[in-house]
Structure 1
Amino acid sequence: MKIVIAPDSYKDALSAREAAAAIAAGCARVFPQAQMIQCPMGDGGEGTLDALLAATGAERRVAEVHDALGRPIDARWGWHAARATAYIELAEASGLQALADVERTALHSTTFGVGELIREALDAGATRLILTLGGSATNDAGAGMLAALGARLIDTEGQPLPPGGAALAQLAELDLSGLDPRLATLMVETAVDVDNPLLGERGASAIFGPQKGATSADVTQLDAALAHFADHVASTLGKDHRALLGAGAAGGMGFAAAAFLEAQLKPGIELVMDQVDFDRLLEDADLVITGEGQLDGQSLAGKTPVGIARRARRHGVPTLALAGRLGAGWQAVHDEGIEAAFALADGPVTLPEALARTPELLADRSEGLLRIWRLGRSSA
């Protein structure tokens, strides 16, 4: 028997690698002789770098860069020398989780540190970059990244713009003459976990700005500033990417990646599955177990469990899912290939208790699932 165990992380509780180990431990109680293929996954958000490094064997490196507020921070990235490929997770440099609630400022946070990581990759000799965009604290449409890579964003008085999305309203000139020339030969694939455009009611500012500290007035200001930036970009490049699906990812970093890095924007889980050769793992598999912190109706937009189930269904392999919580509309996942989904809690429990017990609960639920599945196979 072959069981493929491919969870995402359980936010604030377990990494994807730790979750896979807990699930495998529970499965082994029922099928101790089974072949357990542990494949930690991610959809572009926090933890995707760990999944990619675990699957590809890339070297883990650390660089001192600047966080979303311009403070020094040690950020991890991955380097695969044989493939000349770098793996960069935006959240490592410009992530929301690194900021306290009172520090969150969508108006002024910057992606400068992401640009610094890309420079590190270029210095290492990268000809290919896998860039994942989830978990950002920023709403600057990648302007900070551009500045770190040599572009100049200048106001009406000839001065460089300060960091942040709000400052883009004052942009008078976008000078790309100093942009790092090595970018021209860098092939970039970008993992996004949303399909939002850059602007409007479904755009970066309106949908994701509030969780980054933006008030309703801030959202209006940011949307106008990003529109002004997009106008300059379209005028400079002769192409307009503002309506591209995924352009609004990570506060508009999807827009910048497409416009300036000529990146392909891909659903994060699809990109990760391709990187780890997930189709090969599914060959001759009997079952897939996946999961993450929450399953709900929004999971259909590209979250890990649904992406896993869709791919497994192509191979005729059933998928079971374990979630920390089943939110509104979770039943829709059944139509996407998840045969059954279960929440972890075994009774009334507070959130802190549930987080502390997540390894235990995952193992126990996995055991229970496998016992039911064994019964079904026996009956069949």
Structure 2
Amino acid sequence: MPHSTRAAATRLVAFFVAGMRLATLAQMAPSLLTAMPALSRVDHPWLTGASWILATVMLVAIAAITLVTRRPPGVTYAVLDVAVAVALLIVGLWTVPVELRTGTWVGFQLGYALCVSCGLSAVRSRWLWMFLLGSLAVAEAVYIAPTVDGWADLTGALSTCLTLLVLGPLAWFGCQTIVRIGTEADEARRYAAEAAKAEEERRARLAIHNGTAMMRLLVETDTADGNGALRSQAEVELNRMRAYLSGQTPPPVSEATNLAAVVTAVGAEFDDLPITVVADLAQDVALPRALADDLAAAMRSLLLNVRQHARAGRVVLHAAEDEDGIGWEVTLHDDGIGFDTSATDYGVGLREVVVAQLARSGVDVQINSIRDLGTTVTLAQTTVAEVS
């Protein structure tokens, strides 16, 4: 099972809740023996014993359920827990002497209520949580009201109520935040995995598209000259596919990094087409190695489309530096059959090898085509890329 940060965060909250309950039980236990003489003065000793037993059972049972399931107690258990805590506070009016209700674990009801208020993390509904916490606060106020006999007692009672109203929300918001962070971490991991998968699929398409087109043409071409020209191109693409499959760095698509040289070299590979290459005005444009590779792969994919589909009588490949010297433009025009750009879905070559791949390098791609008049593709970069 894949690692889940949310599951780990939920377990952490569960351990916190169970630890709070067991710690409360550990603090209650020693007080039971020392409290026996004082508790014997109350009018309902059997009710006192039942209160201790009920509190002990609830503390142990919910702690055990939390540890076994490794999840904080659900809404049903939380409501039951609060109901028991409120009942114990009300019953405490008869079972705990007034002088023992605060500052001592003989009156364990306040400690139990505080423990319960810190264990409501599984209650997602803010209104339900506020109702449960408010119920505890009201019951606690009723429980300690008889202890108020002056200003000093009033401030002490208020401090006791504020402890519940401060620590309870802190525990709830803290636990909710921890679980939410775990959820967001899982979502981020899932998004990263999907992005990595998509990137790997994209790299696979880039690695095999041109090579597949080359091999298809190689199979379909019967002339010796055509086969010879295609074999040299197919060999280059075959080496790139081998590099991808072995996880190695693919060889450069073109040895040149000068725009004019890149355009001229790619055009020369397609001398079986009626192609004219004009690149004199791009002699001063230096390209980074990665951009030169992407540009060469894109032009090769475009020319493969021309060879396969255009049925062109003339092809012109033109490259030039902008007049202001901060950008460049490459245009490929053919007078072939053209196509309707608004009604045609681009294939892998145009969509991935040309448009998407060049966009990552800051190169804008414009494709204009008119049926029976031809197609013009413009590759333009408005700023000069830094050469590394």
TM-score (norm 2): 0.20
Choose 1 or 2 for highest CA Rg: 2
In terms of fraction of residues, the more strand-rich structure is 1
Higher RCO structure (Cα 8 Å, ≥6 apart): 1
